[in-house]
Amino acid sequence: DAGVIQSPRHEVTEMGQEVTLRCKPISGHDYLFWYRQTMMRGLELLIYFNNNVPIDDSGMPEDRFSAKMPNASFSTLKIQPSEPRDSAVYFCASSPDSPGTDTQYFGPGTRLTVL
Amino acid sequence: GEDVEQSLFLSVREGDSSVINCTYTDSSSTYLYWYKQEPGAGLQLLTYIFSNMDMKQDQRLTVLLNKKDKHLSLRIADTQTGDSAIYFCAETFKLVFGTGTRLLVSP
């Protein structure tokens, strides 16, 4: 299995631009998670999906952030407009079972830099 | 809210044992996990322990769980330079990860 695939691996953009991060979960996994990692705040859950349906988006920082999962093999995290404080590493993870009962498999992350 | 705390840094010499500690506040998870993150990479599952166990051994890794004190530890025997990384404990029912402990192994 190829594991969780994320693209791009690195993204540099200017403040105010739209940024779209992409994720392909492991086939057969029903749960998909988006995390953000910064030095100041560590690893934070942004949102997670079950069977393509958003279950908990309480970690999404503000309306500039949106996430979609149009099908079982693809998800996007969009930031519009982007700001310098959004600079972080964004991880996607997938899991075959519900939180607390099975592990999550992480992608390599997308390092976002907003100038 | 739920919280998972770890010490930030640990430095050991190659061949020594390393012990990374973690405390947590919520005990709803069926499992508690240890993840390893190498530079520029995502988190990789290292090991886990079922919540009704006290100890689990997996080759060089030993996980101890004290449910009463809500304390989890990871012991790495015969630590190697390749073990240098950031280690996260995680309580995944509420999807909370610790702050991470940076382990530095010197030759």
pLDDT at B1: 53
Q: Which of residues 44-63 of B touch A (CB under 8 A)?
A: 44-45, 48
Confidence of residue B99 (pLDDT cuts 50, 70, 90): confident
Contact A4 B33 (CB under 8 A): no
Contact B100 A109 (CB under 8 A): no
Decide which of B50 and B27 is more confident.
B50
The pairs formed by A24-28 with CB atoms below 8 angstroms and a separation of 24 or more are A24/A73, A24/A74, A24/A75, A25/A72, A25/A73, A25/A75, A25/A92, A25/A94, A26/A1, A26/A2, A26/A94, A26/A96, A26/A105, A27/A1, A27/A73, A28/A96
Residues of A in contact with B88 (CB under 8 A): 43
Position B51, amino acid? S
- Where would I find the beta strands (DSSP E) of B1-107? 4-6, 9-13, 18-24, 31-37, 43-50, 55-58, 61-66, 71-76, 85-91, 96-97, 101-106
Percent of chain B residues topping a pLDDT of 70: 93
pLDDT at B2: 61
Distance CA(A75)–CA(A77), nearest Å, equals 7
Q: How many CB atoms lie under 10 A from the CB of residue A15? A: 12
Confidence of residue B3 (pLDDT cuts 50, 70, 90): confident
pLDDT at B31: 83
Nearest-CA distance from B79 to chain A in Å?
24
Structure tokens at B93: 């029912």
pLDDT at B32: 87
User: B46-75 pLDDT, tens per residue?
Assistant: 998 988 889 999 999 999 999 889 899 999
Contact B26, B35 (CB under 8 A): no
pLDDT at A40: 83
Q: For B88, which of A43, A103, A109 is closest by C-beta distance?
A: A43
Contact A99 B98 (CB under 8 A): no
- pLDDT higher than 80, residue B26: no
pLDDT at A29: 95
Contact A90, A78 (CB under 8 A): no
Beta carbons within 8 Å of A84's beta carbon, 6+ residues apart: A15, A114, A115
Confidence of residue B11 (pLDDT cuts 50, 70, 90): very high
Most B-contacting residue of A21, A106, A110 (CB-CB within 10 A), to test interface: A106
For chain A, 115 residues long, the average pLDDT of each consecutive 10-residue run is 91 97 96 92 91 93 94 97 96 87 87 97
pLDDT at B97: 85
A110 touches chain B (CB under 8 A): no
Decide which of A2 and B92 is more confident.
A2
